[in-house]
Amino acid sequence: MGSVKPLLLSGRAVAADLAKLSGERQSWRLRSPASFAADDRDAALVAVPDDWRLAQAHGYRLAIGRDEPPTRTALSYVRLPAGFAELGEGDVLRIQPRNGRVRVLYRRSSRHNFFLVTERCNNYCLMCSQPPKLVDDGWLMDEIEDTLPLIDRTTPSLTFTGGEPLTEWRRFIGILELTRDLLPDTAVHVLTNGRAFASPDVASTWAAVRHPKLSAGIPIYAAVDHIHDYVVQAKGAFDQTLLGVLRLKDSGQRVEIRIVLHAITAPRLRETCSWIARNLPFVDHVALMGLENIGFAIANDDALWIDPLDYQEQLAVGIDVLSTAGVNVSIYNLPLCVLDPSVRPFSVQSISDWKNMYVEECNSCSARRECAGFFSTGRPKLSRGIAPI
C-alpha cells in the first residue's frame, strides 16, 4: 500500500501580513479578484500577478494565494503552504492573524462538508475516530455561527459531528435553526449518540426546528443492551438511545441507524438487523459501516479488527432481513471487491473526498468508479480479499 495522505486542509502560512486584520472576524470566503467583494469577509483568491491589482481595485482587503505578493501592496495577504489543498471560489477559510494558521472550513466543490461541534461526549466508544476531550470548546460553535452566512446557498448537504453535538443542546439547536434560515434547501445530517433525545424537551425542541431535510444519525450496535453499552463504554446508553429514537420518530423526525462493523458487532449483525426489522422498521435508513482505523480503533485493534471477508455471510443476511422488511439499507466504507456480489448494489461511495484513497490493485479494476475505496487516515488496514473486479 502506498503512502497516500489525507488532503491537507490546515497549516501555517508560508508568509502573511495580517496586522490590519487583528481582532476582526476570521472566517473568509474566497472569490475571484475579477469580481467585486460582496461582503467584508470576502477574500481574493489570487493566482497570477495581475490578480493583486484587480483585488485592490475591486474592494478586497485580503488576498490569499500560493505565490509571493508584489513588493508593494496595500492588501493584507496569506501565502499558503506547499501541498495545501486546491481551493476555489466560494470556499471558506479560518485564519488566525496572530500566527498565520489557516484551516479550510468549507469547500464549495465538495459533497462532504462537515462541522465539528464539540469534542465533548458522554460516550467513550471503543472505536471512536474523534476521541472525546473534556474541554471548554464553545469556540467551535462560535466559528460555525460565523461561517454559515458565507456558505453557498446551493450546497446540497452539511454534516454536524462531534463529540456529541447535543452536549450543549439548546445552543446547538439554535445553530440548526440558523442553518435552516440561511440554507433552507440544504440537507442537514447530525451524527449523535441519540441519548439526549430521551429527554422530551430535547426531542420536542429538535422537532420544532421544522427543517424538512434534517436527520439524525444514531448508532445502535447490538440487539441487547449490555453489548451496546460495552461498545460505547456507557452503562444505560442503550436504553437512552432507543428511547431517543422512539421520541424522534414519534414526532415525525428523520432517523438513520448506524452500525460500525468490527469484531464485536459484525458477528452479531444478523441478530441486530432482525431486531431492527422487528422493533424499528419505521427508521428512515440503516447504514452498515466499515471501520475507520483511527483514534481509539488503533488502541483497541486486538479487540476490534476483523477482516471484512470474514463477516460477509452476516452482512448478506442482515441486508436481506432489512430490505425484506422494507427498511432502506446501505453499506458504507467498504470496497466492492470484499463484498459478496449479492450485496454490492447496496454499497455507497461514502468516504469523504479529503480522506479517500485507492490502492495499486484498484488501477485495473472495472468497478473503481463505483467503489467506496479506502480511508487514508489513521493506520489503514487492508482485507486479504483486495483484488480487481
pLDDT > 80? residue 292: yes
pLDDT digits (tens, 9 = 90+) for 67-112: 989 988 889 999 998 889 889 999 999 998 888 889 999 999 999 9
Give 300-341 pLDDT, tens digit per residue.
999 999 999 999 999 999 999 999 999 999 999 999 999 999
Which residue in 121, 84, 123, 125 sits closest to 102, CA to CA? 84
pLDDT at residue 96, rounded to an integer: 87
Give the residue from 296, 305, 289, 372 showing the smallest Cα distance to 337: 372
The pLDDT value given to residue 99: 83
Is residue 1's pLDDT more than 70? no
**Residue 245 pLDDT exceeds 90:** yes
% pLDDT > 70, the chain: 98
Amino acid 24: pLDDT? 61
Domains of the chain: 10-106 (3.50.30), 114-375 (3.20.20.70)
Please give the pLDDT value at position 3. Answer: 47
Flag whether pLDDT at 253 surpasses 70: yes
- pLDDT tens, position by position, 254-285: 999 999 999 999 999 999 999 999 999 999 99
The strand pairing partners of 78, in sequence order, are 16, 64
Biggest CA pair distance of the chain: 71
* pLDDT tens, position by position, 140-194: 999 999 999 999 999 999 999 999 999 999 999 999 999 999 999 999 999 999 9
